[in-house]
Amino acid sequence: MVRSGLTEGERVVAGATFLIDSESRLQASFTAAQGTAERPAPGSCEAELDSGKFPDKYGACKKCEVHRGMGSMEDDCRAQIPKPWK
């Protein structure tokens, strides 16, 4: 029950999550069909490491992601992974 913020007769949207999710999936399928996959985010393990050539280093990098948002902890963790990465 809505008690404030609306006036009688105003229309309210309900259940839009399904529409947003459906639109997102539809866009992803179009992108995949066109062969234009999204590029990995700069600084991500996917962008920084060759996971096929260095699977152990890639795995170590992914483990560092638990520190995301904790200041420099993620960077410090990654600094422990020997280079080269590519």
Model pLDDT, residue 35:
62
pLDDT along the chain (86 residues), means of 10: 78 66 72 68 88 92 88 90 87
pLDDT computed for residue 43 by the predictor: 84
Residue 82 is classified by DSSP as: P
pLDDT of residue 10: 82
| pLDDT for residue 16 | 60
Q: Could you tell me the pTM of the whole model?
A: 0.53
Q: What per-residue confidence (pLDDT) applies to 1?
A: 67
Is the separation of the CB atoms in 45 and 58 below 8 Å? yes
Burial of 52 (0-12, 13-18, 19+ CB in 10 A): exposed
